[in-house]
Amino acid sequence: MVRSDRLIEDFKRWRGPFPYRDLVRILAGLGYVETATAGGSRRRFVHPSGHVIRLHEPHPGNEVKDYVVRQIKAVLIERGLI
């Protein structure tokens, strides 16, 4: 199994906070590109289809909150990406 496939499987099973850098890797593997924002910790990921995911990069920790993980997971499943 390829590392990105393993990350996606972990993400689908995850029930709590998820490492931010792994989420970025998953989104990049699905075709999302991080684009510039006005600054701060805001991040925007744009898919070639035009779909946009906006979130805050966690700080001072490095884990995305569980409710954000649930929301992103639901959107990716709904769009048929995972």
Indicate the burial class of 29 (C-beta count within 10 angstroms; 0-12, 13-18, 19 or more): middle
CA distance 66 to 3: 22
For the beta sheet containing 42-46, the strands, ordered from the edge strand earlier in sequence to the opposite edge, are 33-35, 42-46, 52-56
Q: What are the structural domains, with CATH classification, of the chain?
A: 3-78 (3.30.920.30)
pLDDT score at 2: 58
Taking the chain, what is the end-to-end CA distance rounded to the nearest angstrom?
Answer: 15
Contact 18, 69 (CB under 8 A): yes
pTM for the whole structure = 0.84
How does residue 14 score in pLDDT terms, banded at 50, 70 and 90? confident
pLDDT in tens, 22-77: 889 989 988 999 887 777 778 899 999 999 999 888 888 888 888 888 898 899 99
Backbone angles phi, psi at 18, to 5 degrees: -125, 140
